[in-house]
Amino acid sequence: MLLYNLRLPNSNKTVGAVSSEKSRAPMHPKRILLAAAVLGACVPAAYADDNKLTLENRIAQCQGCHGIPDWKTAFPEVYRVPKLGGQKPAYIVSALKEYRSGDRDFPTMRAIAANLTDAEMEGVARYYGADGGAVAAAGEKK
């Protein structure tokens, strides 16, 4: 039995007192399995909502480096990051596929391209090659 602080008024109350007469039996294994199954079914549904904006997330990932005017990277070497806005979509898709296959050797881009599907590569390329790319390129002017 846990008592409240005895120095406080009305301190004769107890918290979480469980009498030894009313001990509970452990939960039946079938109930545990049922609870686990229900919880397991809810988890994928919750994560499915996070995947609805995959293309937008990929575009934002590119903008982290390629959307910053005159950005220079320091890994694995210092160099100016190329702009994507205004590039031809076929070139962007080709470059991403080369990074994914290892034909182009840059660790950061290879890691990013490794997780892109062909459809995501084409979507990113359409964004930067179309009006969105023109907006991105215009935003980079000083």
What's the rounded Cα separation, in Å, for the pair 92 and 124? Answer: 8
**Paired tokens of 81:** 């990051």
User: Band of the pLDDT at 11, cuts 50, 70, 90?
Assistant: low
Listed by start position, the domains of the chain span: 54-139
Residue type, 22: K
What's the pLDDT tens digit per position in 70-115? Answer: 888 887 778 888 888 888 999 999 999 999 999 998 888 999 999 8
SS3 at position 73 = strand
The reported pTM is: 0.56
Average pLDDT over residues 47-73: 79
Residues 74 and 60 sit within 8 Å (Cβ to Cβ): no
Mean pLDDT throughout 47-62? Answer: 74
Q: Which fold has domain 54-139?
A: Cytochrome Bc1 Complex; Chain D, domain 2 (1.10.760)
CA distance 117 to 119: 5
Q: Is 95 helix (H, G, I), strand (E, B) or coil?
A: helix
